[in-house]
Structure 1
Amino acid sequence: MAWGITKKITSAVKKSAKGKATTASASALMAQREEARRTLLKAKGTWSQYDGHLVRGRQFLADVVEQKKTAHTDGTHTQADGELVDIDAYSHAFDDTPNRYSASVLELFLVQKGLMENSQGETYRGPYHFNSATAVVTGNPAQSAAVQDMMEVLKNNEGAEGGSRNHASAMTIEDMRKVMAWSYKQCPDELISLIYSRVQSESALDMDNVILAQKHLVIRAFATTGFTIWTRNFELTKIRRKDIVWNCQGCPPYDIPYDLLQDHEYEIYPQQQTPEICMFTHLRAWVNFLEEVLLRRPLEPDEFIFARVGANSVVYASDQLSYDGVMKMLAWMCKEVGLTARYTTHCFRRGGARYRFMFTPLGQRWSLATIRWWGAWAEGESKNHRDALCPIPREGDKSFNGDHILTAPITAAETQELKMSFDHELNCLSGKVEEVLDKLTLAPASSTYSSPLPAPSQPPILVSSPQSLQPTLCHQATISPFLESASTPSMIPSPVPVDSTSSPSPPAFPTTRALPSSSRQHGTTAKKAAPIPGVGIPDLPRGPEAWRTAVKQWEDPAASIGGKALKDWPEEWYTGPMRTITGVKRNIRKVIAMEFYRLQRDEAIFVEAYPEATCGVKPLFDAVQRQREGRSEITRRATYITLSRPAVAGTTFPGPTRALAQLYLFIRRHSVLVH
């Protein structure tokens, strides 16, 4: 109604340019004025309350006038202060036009409503008391001792161990890792790259993929930004493009680049040790996606970084993400990740502050002064801590450019952390090597299945090492340049310091004879070709349903990226440069699908023959390969490296697998240096 009246007035004003309108009557104008006043000045509910007060006031006045008329038939009444009152004029005190009695009548009305009527409830206000002699209760029963004791019991029960907590929790670094692991599993970098490649080639985009990428990129940026700069969620949505300065140059001599958030002058540096909370990485990724994919233009200075995104990824950059939108996003994230904590407005602010003050590694925890400045809890603080995230803190009051930090002796805690980090990386590398070696097979003598390795172009060679007395038979494939140069057996040298300005050379593995130089030309390095746009294989889920997904990807075009089922892929999609990208993944799906076909596509028989199917894809794939070896469909894998031995004969493998195996051997031989 209000909008309709405003529209009428606006349109009436604009009509004056086209021609003079007929002047309305005074009564019509006054009626229009009253309608506009009642619809535009106050809300409808407010006017209803006003009308109710007026009705009750007039009813009160009518009762008072009736009492006066009954007591004084002459039409006049003398008040307590001696003033002679005209009862007829007194009865019009609450008319639309006030008179001289309106103020005094209103005062009496307030006394009636505020003192007389409320006094009836005074009996049940205040401390509770029951008079057993008269059976009269006074005071509020809720204030009784029994009720108060029960309230205390309920409060203690809520706070006891195992009781429910209603206040918001602080986001922990462990939960941030879970969120990022889930997000990258649901929306891997390959999917983002696929979207960018389609944008650059001006190809049609899959809307489901765009929506999925948008949801994950925005939640990564939102979570890491809130965790880093300690903002409340409703404050974080107010950040505009003009508030951020990208690619600022760090102070010499290190010149570490950073992004500047101008609100509190936060210097945002890359957090390479903790990528799950790296605002530098994730905020850039979101803004890039927002500008290049969703908007196809740069953001304007006053447009929001966390803008409102409608259906089908329609972006309203001038509108900030609503609080309800933030809470819906957090609820969806917690449900999908399986987080049971209750995260609301302050979760990232409290979590980031607690992490920097208590839970960062030893030697990296912030001082209380830095915490107070970073959280904007130290107004008027003279010392600036804007570079607290810098990987090399300057601390100019102690040394020039923070040199004292780089030249300080290594501590026992740092040594222990280095060892733990190295052990972790070594275990990961061992797992990757074992996984790759499990997939390596030699060319079969006769089989209906094709081997993933090419047939040997040269006879086997003997490779020896100082740790093995017996020569090892290995299959020769592509040879690395540093193996070609090793013409005579030699001991592997111990690691020596390497100049930081030059690239370290890999160690040469000893061989019994020179390898032919025709396998690869010296001085040339093959450039890695770019992957084919729009071609990929989604990762398999974990759990007992993974093998069904593998079979579906093998035969269903919609289950893979590229529009074709894996069994119908052209050879160039999984060979050559694509072999390391899609070749291995396709081979796993093929082996599982072929075995499923061999068992007449009966799921019950398949699961009974391979109980490993309920454990995941890798145990199932290994079990199928063992069965194939038993049926002589593939050659027994007798040339694998024994990972448990500290030193193994130098062995060559095809392409990247060979390099990975050699790197693994080198690390195993020199791992004693970190113990």
Structure 2
Amino acid sequence: MGPQMLPEQDLYDSCQNVAQRGQMATNNLTLELHTSITRIVMYQVFSTTAWNLWTRCFELIKLKRKDLTIDPSKVNTAFGKYLYNETLLIKDSHGCFEVFLSNHKGWQQKVDKGLKEADLHSNQYKIYPQPDMPGCDCFFWMLLWLALLKHIHYNDKLKPDNFLFPAIGSNGIVHHGEHISHDTVQAWVNEATTSAGDSFTTCTCHCGRAQWHWMLARVRWWGSWAENENHDILIQYLLNELSTYKNNHSNALCPTQNEADGFLLGKHQLVKPACSQDLQLMQQFIIVDVADLQSDICFLTNTLISSKNGPPSSTLVHQPLQHPLCSTFLPCKSPTLIPQQTVSAPNNTGSMNFGSHPLPKKGLDIPNLPIQCTDGSYAPKKDSWRYIIQHWTEADPRHGLHVALQDWPAVWLKGKNKAIFSSKYHQHALVTLEFLEQ
């Protein structure tokens, strides 16, 4: 909402055309469309910038092109996707540009104190894409406005000292050396809010974009203080210059936050990057699960094929190419189907068909922990990890383990045995891997 608007599609098409084609696209603009585009986009970029940076009117109207630091390699991809209505990737949403508020509240007081004070970054802000909030997306509106300002009003010669919000005459002509007035901004606000059935002042922008989930330290840094405000009073509850020296929250709008104290309710935990150890552990479990799934699917497929087409005396037995533990280090290869003669059918005792990997004569077992000693006592729990490593690499017939776990073929962990041994087997594998990596 804002200055009286043309049909939305006409406005969008015109802005897109100018941003993509440059000055050539302005030749066909009528005076009405030229003026409407200027007023509407200027209002949008002014309001979204004020909303995001908590600026007052007199601070923002003096903003110049040199106050923006824009790296085209970081923003062009995201801006291009905006123009073509494409979805931004995660890496696109981390491109940003910086805004330096040279007329920020109290900044001149710091400069007067010397260069050490002037080195502070309390008035530099990084602006990131916010495609989920188009009405507040300063990233898009600022880049669009720069393109329109350059091609429509400055004839492709936007200089560092040019105002970003220049005064505009009734005929749509820009006054290059003069910025818009406070009264003009107030008129915009009145026009926008009248249609909404309420009344606001330009001070409202200073309270906008207040992140309810930010900690006070970030709010204090982001908000700073205004000219002519009593510093001795405000410092008691909001301002602490020491916080400004030690902390820099210019990156507060970044979609991925690393700071542990940046948000209330632990929201930062949901968006922080995963560490390498977490990803490796997740990969190990995924690969093992996929290998199990492949084996099960092949077993079922072979059973169906053999029951349909195969002779009664033969079937296709699934032979995994590698041990499940190996798949945690190497890419999982596709299993092969090897025609073989079947082992004798199950007898009345319910023994299973394990193809070319018959069970040990004394059966399968994975000893429980802690290990029971010969005298009936149990080994200390703190030594259980030693038995886990031992059972992985060596057999332990005395406790029922006749084949070392690392030598178990995958087929022994299928069928009925999967429910009995699978969980315990993978726990042993995980502990062993962690030990070997150390």
Same fold flag (TM > 0.5):
no
Point out the structure with max Rg over C-alpha: 1
| TM-score normalised to structure 1 length | 0.29
TM-score, with length taken from structure 2: 0.44
